Amino acid sequence: MIASELTSHILAPLDPQDTGEEALTIMRVYHVKHLPIVKGSKILGMISEEEILNNKMENKIETYDLKKIDAVAKSNEHLFDVMSRMAQSHLTTIPVIDEKENYFGLILQDDLIQFYANSFSFSEPGSIIVLETIKSNYSLSQIAQVIESEGLTILSSFITSDKETSNIYVTLKLNKREINNILATLERYEYNIKASFVDEEKTEGLKDRYDSLMRYLNV
Protein backbone atom coordinates (compact mmCIF):
# COMPACT_ATOMS: atom_id res chain seq x y z
CA MET A 1 0.00 0.00 0.00
CA ILE A 2 1.30 3.45 -0.89
CA ALA A 3 0.94 6.80 0.85
CA SER A 4 -1.77 8.17 -1.45
CA GLU A 5 -4.09 5.32 -0.45
CA LEU A 6 -3.97 6.27 3.24
CA THR A 7 -3.92 10.03 2.83
CA SER A 8 -6.59 11.90 4.77
CA HIS A 9 -8.40 14.77 3.09
CA ILE A 10 -10.72 15.33 6.05
CA LEU A 11 -8.12 17.10 8.19
CA ALA A 12 -7.06 20.22 6.28
CA PRO A 13 -3.60 21.79 6.64
CA LEU A 14 -3.11 25.10 8.38
CA ASP A 15 -3.18 28.37 6.48
CA PRO A 16 -0.43 30.90 7.30
CA GLN A 17 -3.24 33.34 8.17
CA ASP A 18 -4.55 31.04 10.90
CA THR A 19 -3.77 32.10 14.44
CA GLY A 20 -1.96 29.93 16.92
CA GLU A 21 -5.17 29.56 18.90
CA GLU A 22 -7.04 28.30 15.83
CA ALA A 23 -4.25 25.85 15.04
CA LEU A 24 -4.23 24.54 18.60
CA THR A 25 -7.99 24.01 18.52
CA ILE A 26 -7.73 21.94 15.34
CA MET A 27 -4.93 19.84 16.85
CA ARG A 28 -6.95 19.10 19.95
CA VAL A 29 -10.09 18.20 18.00
CA TYR A 30 -8.17 15.69 15.86
CA HIS A 31 -5.78 14.56 18.64
CA VAL A 32 -2.57 15.42 16.77
CA LYS A 33 0.44 17.49 17.77
CA HIS A 34 1.79 18.44 14.33
CA LEU A 35 0.23 20.04 11.26
CA PRO A 36 1.65 21.25 7.94
CA ILE A 37 1.24 24.87 6.87
CA VAL A 38 0.20 25.19 3.24
CA LYS A 39 -0.27 28.20 0.98
CA GLY A 40 -1.92 27.36 -2.30
CA SER A 41 -0.38 24.01 -3.14
CA LYS A 42 3.03 24.54 -1.52
CA ILE A 43 4.09 23.44 1.96
CA LEU A 44 5.64 26.32 3.91
CA GLY A 45 6.55 24.34 6.99
CA MET A 46 5.39 22.17 9.86
CA ILE A 47 4.33 23.38 13.27
CA SER A 48 3.98 21.54 16.54
CA GLU A 49 1.77 22.07 19.56
CA GLU A 50 4.86 22.95 21.59
CA GLU A 51 5.91 25.68 19.14
CA ILE A 52 2.47 27.25 19.27
CA LEU A 53 2.50 27.33 23.05
CA ASN A 54 5.91 29.03 22.97
CA ASN A 55 4.47 31.88 20.88
CA LYS A 56 1.61 34.32 21.28
CA MET A 57 -1.43 32.27 20.36
CA GLU A 58 -3.38 35.30 19.14
CA ASN A 59 -0.76 35.95 16.45
CA LYS A 60 -0.94 34.54 12.94
CA ILE A 61 1.21 31.51 12.23
CA GLU A 62 3.03 33.34 9.45
CA THR A 63 4.61 35.58 12.10
CA TYR A 64 6.17 32.57 13.86
CA ASP A 65 9.74 31.49 13.26
CA LEU A 66 8.83 28.36 11.32
CA LYS A 67 11.27 25.48 11.08
CA LYS A 68 12.15 24.06 7.70
CA ILE A 69 10.15 20.93 7.06
CA ASP A 70 12.37 17.85 7.11
CA ALA A 71 9.89 15.00 6.71
CA VAL A 72 7.42 14.54 3.87
CA ALA A 73 6.01 11.49 2.14
CA LYS A 74 5.67 11.08 -1.59
CA SER A 75 2.27 9.95 -2.81
CA ASN A 76 3.74 6.80 -4.43
CA GLU A 77 5.91 5.87 -1.43
CA HIS A 78 5.33 2.64 0.47
CA LEU A 79 3.76 3.05 3.89
CA PHE A 80 6.57 1.19 5.64
CA ASP A 81 8.98 3.95 4.60
CA VAL A 82 6.42 6.56 5.69
CA MET A 83 6.13 4.92 9.09
CA SER A 84 9.90 4.88 9.55
CA ARG A 85 10.18 8.56 8.65
CA MET A 86 7.41 9.50 11.08
CA ALA A 87 9.19 7.56 13.82
CA GLN A 88 12.54 9.23 13.14
CA SER A 89 10.97 12.70 13.18
CA HIS A 90 8.58 11.94 16.08
CA LEU A 91 5.53 13.16 14.14
CA THR A 92 1.83 12.52 14.68
CA THR A 93 1.04 13.57 11.09
CA ILE A 94 3.14 13.72 7.94
CA PRO A 95 2.35 15.75 4.80
CA VAL A 96 2.10 13.94 1.47
CA ILE A 97 3.24 15.51 -1.81
CA ASP A 98 2.55 14.49 -5.41
CA GLU A 99 5.04 14.03 -8.25
CA LYS A 100 5.18 17.82 -8.78
CA GLU A 101 5.89 18.34 -5.05
CA ASN A 102 2.47 19.91 -4.53
CA TYR A 103 0.60 19.27 -1.29
CA PHE A 104 -1.59 16.18 -1.67
CA GLY A 105 -2.85 15.58 1.88
CA LEU A 106 -1.56 14.16 5.14
CA ILE A 107 -1.30 10.85 6.94
CA LEU A 108 -2.30 10.54 10.58
CA GLN A 109 -0.49 8.33 13.06
CA ASP A 110 -3.78 6.73 14.12
CA ASP A 111 -4.51 5.66 10.53
CA LEU A 112 -1.08 4.04 10.33
CA ILE A 113 -1.76 2.22 13.60
CA GLN A 114 -4.93 0.72 12.17
CA PHE A 115 -3.32 -0.16 8.85
CA TYR A 116 -0.40 -2.04 10.39
CA ALA A 117 -2.64 -3.65 12.99
CA ASN A 118 -4.59 -5.22 10.13
CA SER A 119 -1.95 -5.68 7.44
CA PHE A 120 0.92 -7.10 9.49
CA SER A 121 -1.17 -9.62 11.42
CA PHE A 122 -0.79 -7.78 14.74
CA SER A 123 -4.39 -8.72 15.55
CA GLU A 124 -3.79 -12.43 14.86
CA PRO A 125 -3.05 -14.69 17.84
CA GLY A 126 0.43 -16.12 17.79
CA SER A 127 3.97 -15.23 18.75
CA ILE A 128 6.87 -12.99 17.77
CA ILE A 129 10.50 -14.04 17.48
CA VAL A 130 13.43 -11.68 16.92
CA LEU A 131 16.55 -13.28 15.44
CA GLU A 132 19.98 -11.66 15.34
CA THR A 133 22.30 -12.59 12.50
CA ILE A 134 25.05 -11.23 10.27
CA LYS A 135 23.70 -9.56 7.16
CA SER A 136 25.79 -11.76 4.85
CA ASN A 137 24.31 -14.90 6.44
CA TYR A 138 20.67 -13.81 6.18
CA SER A 139 18.32 -16.05 4.19
CA LEU A 140 14.59 -15.74 4.75
CA SER A 141 13.93 -18.88 2.71
CA GLN A 142 16.20 -20.89 5.00
CA ILE A 143 14.56 -19.45 8.12
CA ALA A 144 11.11 -20.20 6.69
CA GLN A 145 12.15 -23.76 5.91
CA VAL A 146 13.27 -24.32 9.50
CA ILE A 147 10.09 -22.81 10.94
CA GLU A 148 7.76 -24.66 8.57
CA SER A 149 9.50 -27.94 9.41
CA GLU A 150 8.04 -27.52 12.91
CA GLY A 151 4.53 -26.97 11.56
CA LEU A 152 4.47 -23.17 12.02
CA THR A 153 3.80 -20.45 9.46
CA ILE A 154 5.36 -17.00 9.17
CA LEU A 155 2.52 -14.46 9.07
CA SER A 156 4.77 -11.43 8.55
CA SER A 157 8.40 -10.38 8.82
CA PHE A 158 10.65 -7.34 8.63
CA ILE A 159 14.31 -6.52 9.07
CA THR A 160 16.10 -3.78 10.99
CA SER A 161 19.81 -3.04 11.07
CA ASP A 162 22.17 -2.39 13.95
CA LYS A 163 23.85 0.93 13.14
CA GLU A 164 26.96 0.08 15.16
CA THR A 165 27.59 -3.43 13.77
CA SER A 166 26.96 -5.48 10.65
CA ASN A 167 24.20 -7.39 12.41
CA ILE A 168 20.55 -7.36 11.43
CA TYR A 169 17.42 -8.25 13.40
CA VAL A 170 14.78 -10.40 11.74
CA THR A 171 11.37 -9.99 13.38
CA LEU A 172 8.94 -12.81 12.64
CA LYS A 173 5.24 -13.05 13.50
CA LEU A 174 4.24 -16.73 13.73
CA ASN A 175 0.79 -18.29 13.73
CA LYS A 176 1.12 -20.26 16.99
CA ARG A 177 1.73 -19.41 20.64
CA GLU A 178 3.57 -22.64 21.45
CA ILE A 179 7.12 -21.85 20.32
CA ASN A 180 9.42 -23.75 22.68
CA ASN A 181 10.17 -26.38 20.04
CA ILE A 182 10.90 -23.87 17.29
CA LEU A 183 13.14 -21.85 19.60
CA ALA A 184 15.17 -24.97 20.33
CA THR A 185 15.31 -25.84 16.63
CA LEU A 186 16.48 -22.35 15.64
CA GLU A 187 19.21 -22.54 18.27
CA ARG A 188 20.36 -25.87 16.83
CA TYR A 189 20.71 -24.11 13.48
CA GLU A 190 22.88 -21.53 15.29
CA TYR A 191 20.42 -18.65 15.07
CA ASN A 192 20.79 -16.18 17.91
CA ILE A 193 17.35 -15.56 19.44
CA LYS A 194 17.37 -11.95 20.56
CA ALA A 195 13.84 -11.98 21.99
CA SER A 196 10.54 -13.83 21.86
CA PHE A 197 7.00 -12.81 22.78
CA VAL A 198 3.65 -14.56 22.98
CA ASP A 199 0.52 -12.55 22.18
CA GLU A 200 -2.13 -12.89 24.84
CA GLU A 201 -4.47 -10.28 23.37
CA LYS A 202 -5.91 -9.90 19.91
CA THR A 203 -6.75 -6.30 19.12
CA GLU A 204 -6.37 -4.48 22.43
CA GLY A 205 -3.49 -2.13 23.03
CA LEU A 206 -2.80 -1.30 19.37
CA LYS A 207 -1.51 2.15 20.27
CA ASP A 208 1.01 0.67 22.72
CA ARG A 209 2.13 -1.84 20.11
CA TYR A 210 2.55 0.84 17.49
CA ASP A 211 4.56 3.06 19.84
CA SER A 212 6.78 0.11 20.73
CA LEU A 213 7.33 -0.60 17.04
CA MET A 214 8.17 3.06 16.41
CA ARG A 215 10.79 3.01 19.16
CA TYR A 216 12.20 -0.28 17.84
CA LEU A 217 12.53 1.08 14.28
CA ASN A 218 14.17 4.23 15.59
CA VAL A 219 16.93 2.39 17.52
- 157 vs 123, residue with greater confidence: 157
Map out the domains of the chain with their CATH numbers: 3-117 (3.10.580.10), 124-202 (3.30.70.260)
Distance from C-alpha of 158 to C-alpha of 30, rounded to nearest angstrom = 31
Q: Which CB contacts under 8 angstroms, 24+ apart, belong to 183-187?
A: 183/129, 185/146, 185/149, 185/150, 186/129, 186/131, 186/146, 186/147
Global confidence as pTM: 0.65
Question: How many other CB atoms sit within 10 Å of the CB of residue 44?
Answer: 20
Mind listing the pLDDT tens digit for each residue in 12-60? 999 999 999 999 999 999 999 999 999 999 999 899 999 999 999 999 9
For 140, how many CA atoms within 13 A lie in the half-sphere containing its CB?
12
What does the mean pLDDT of the chain come to?
87
Q: Residue 206: what pLDDT?
A: 55
Distance from C-alpha of 11 to C-alpha of 51, rounded to nearest angstrom = 20
Sign for the CA dihedral angle at 206, 195, 128, 1 comes to: positive
